[in-house]
């Protein structure tokens, strides 16, 4: 899916180029695990994640001049990675129209909260239901719920919760208004909680009240 591009070196004085190259290599090394983790969350598989990281490194080097704040190299790498990932996905979606890259609001506009479900009066719990629920979740459940999200929603979750970016940074990275980040993130979290809840129901970890059963 992703092809790695090595861009032609722009003319830089040799000495400063060597110095830059060393510093760049150090920054790549320092951020490699983080980039790989984020790439895994974005691509959902190991091979595409490795391709994405490799392409990000090549693109970052060729656009070194766009690094405005050397103290925020990590966020700059992630921005390059995310933009490239999105552009590649858009191209792929173009080729396969049934795959969606949609931003429309939710069908019913309502939000879903596991906490609310756990605290419905009809459910009887001993102890602390939300604690029990969290204790039963394993990392694979979270990954599956995240992977099940449509792309546009998975990306905001990755940038906010995995990368810890501020809303403004996410907006700049995705080139959308901050309000869009807020609403998309809220919906993404709601969808994710709904998915986790369904998983918990399927696994028999929780029971749907009779009047809610579908």
* Contacting residues toward other proteins, per CB under 8 A: 4, 6, 9, 21, 24-25, 28, 32-33, 35-37, 40-41, 46, 50, 53-54, 57-58, 61, 113-116, 119, 130, 134, 137, 139, 142-143, 146, 157, 160-162, 164, 166-167, 182, 185-186, 189, 192-193, 196
Shortest Cβ 48–other proteins spacing (Å): 12
Alpha carbons 46 and 52: distance in angstroms, whole number:
10
CB of 97 to other proteins, least distance (A): 30
**Which residue, 152 or 157, is less far from other proteins as judged by CB?**
157
Q: Is 9 helix (H, G, I), strand (E, B) or coil?
A: coil
CA dist list (Å): 123 to 56, 120, 129, 211: 49, 6, 10, 12
Distances (CA, A) of 157 to 50, 127, 154: 20, 31, 5
Could you tell me where the DSSP H helices lie in the chain? 14-43, 46-62, 73-95, 114-118, 129-136, 139-147, 151-157, 167-174, 178-202
Least distance CB 40 / other proteins (angstroms): 6
Name residue, tokens 């700049």: 172
State the nearest-atom distance from the C-beta of 50 to other proteins, in Å.
Answer: 5
Nearer to other proteins, 77 or 86 (CB): 77
The smaller minimum CB distance to other proteins, of residues 22 and 99, is found at 22
């Amino acid at each position: 899916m992703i092809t790695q591009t090595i861009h032609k070196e722009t003319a830089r004085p040799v000495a400063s180029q060597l110095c830059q190259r060393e510093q760049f290599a150090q920054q790549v090394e320092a951020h490699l695990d983080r980039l790989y983790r984020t790439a895994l969350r974005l691509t959902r598989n190991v091979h595409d994640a490795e391709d994405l990281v490799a392409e990000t490194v090549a693109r970052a080097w060729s656009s070194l001049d766009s690094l405005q704040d050397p103290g925020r190299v990590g966020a700059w790498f992630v921005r390059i990675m995310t933009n490239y990932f999105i552009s590649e996905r858009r191209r792929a979606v173009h080729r396969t129209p049934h795959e969606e890259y949609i931003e429309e609001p939710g069908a019913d506009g309502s939000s879903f909260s596991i906490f609310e479900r756990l605290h419905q009066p009809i459910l009887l719990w001993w102890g602390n239901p939300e604690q029990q629920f969290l204790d039963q979740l394993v990392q694979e459940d979270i990954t599956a719920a995240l992977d099940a999200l449509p792309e546009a929603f998975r990306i905001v979750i990755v940038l906010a919760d995995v990368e810890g970016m501020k809303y403004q940074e996410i907006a700049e990275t995705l080139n959308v208004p901050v309000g869009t980040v807020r609403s998309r993130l809220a919906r993404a979290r709601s969808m994710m909680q709904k998915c986790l809840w369904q998983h918990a129901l399927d696994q028999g970890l929780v029971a749907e009240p009779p009047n809610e059963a579908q």
